[in-house]
Amino acid sequence: MTHQAFPRKIYFGVADRRQMCRLFDRHAQRPNRSEGDSDHLYAGEYFEIARAEHDYMLDILPPLWMRGEMFAMREFLTDRVTSIFYQLRIDGKVRYFHGYCDLTQACSPVEMRDAIVERESWPVRAMTHEERLEHIWSATHDEYRGYAGERWLPEFRGQRNVLVYGRRGGTTLKLLRELTDEEIQAKLPVHLRHLPERQAA
C-alpha cells in the first residue's frame, strides 16, 4: 500500500459525529491489521469537523496536552500516532479540524496546523486528483471497498479497491488508484464533481 506521509485532506465537507467516527479508522479493513506498523497509514490525514464534535472530543478525556489552538488525545491510535484537534481562524472564520500526527516528530502538530491553514486558504475552491480519490475512499461504505487479496496478482495485493458499476449494469472491483476520470466523477457527490482539479503542491 502506498500512502503519503505529508498532511493530506481525506474528506470534503464538515464531518458530523457519525462520519467523524468512521473517518477515525478508515483503514480498519487493511490486511495484517494485527501486525501493527500502521503509523504510515494514518499520520498526516486530516478532515474538518464542527465545533460540537471538537468540544465533544475535548470532554471525553483530559487531553494529553493543550497548546493554544490545538489539543492532543491521550489515547494513541497506534504506537506513535494520536489525534490532534484544531480550532483555527482561516480567512476570518473559526473552523475545526481533526488530524493524525506522529508525536515522535515533535513538530508534526505545528506542521499539520500550518498545512491545514495553507490548504484551506486556497483562493479557488478546487480538489487535487489525490484528494478526489481519498474522498471517494472515505465516503464509500465498508461493504463497497476493501483491499486486494489472494484473487489479485501479487503486485496488487494489499492495495485499496472499490466497487464500480459498469455501463451494462454489472459491478466489479477496481483498484482505487486506477479509477478513470469518468468513474471518479460518478463516485463523487454532485456538489464536488465540477470543482476544478488542482495539481498537488
**pLDDT value, residue 2:** 39
Model pLDDT, residue 34: 61
pLDDT band at residue 1 using 50, 70 and 90 as cut-offs: very low
Question: Residue 168 above 50 pLDDT?
Answer: yes
| Per-residue pLDDT at 116 exceeds 80 | yes
Q: Which tens digits make up the pLDDT trace of 49-106? A: 999 999 999 999 899 999 989 999 999 888 889 999 999 999 999 999 999 999 988 8
Geometric angle at alpha carbon 36, from 129 and 100, rounded to 5°: 45
Domain ranges within the chain, ordered by starting residue: 8-120, 129-193
DSSP 8-state class, residue 43: T
pTM of the model: 0.87
For the CA atoms of 77, 87, 115, 121, what is the dihedral angle to 10 degrees? 140
pLDDT at 4 over 50: no
Q: Within 13 Å of residue 110, how many CA atoms lie on the same side as its CB?
A: 5
Cell digits of residue 155: 503486485
How far is residue 35's CA from residue 14's CA, in Å, rounded to a whole number? 32
pLDDT tens per residue, range 133-159: 999 999 999 999 989 888 888 899 888
What is the tens place of the pLDDT at every residue in 5-64?
A: 588 999 999 999 999 999 998 888 887 766 666 777 888 999 999 999 999 999 998 999
User: What is the pLDDT confidence band of residue 194, given thresholds at 50, 70 and 90?
Assistant: confident
User: In 3D, which of 123, 122, 128 has the Cα closest to residue 196?
Assistant: 128
Sequence-distant (≥ 6) Cβ neighbours of residue 31 within 8 angstroms? 147, 149, 157, 158
Contact partners, residue 133, CB within 8 Å, separation at least 6:
176, 177, 179, 184
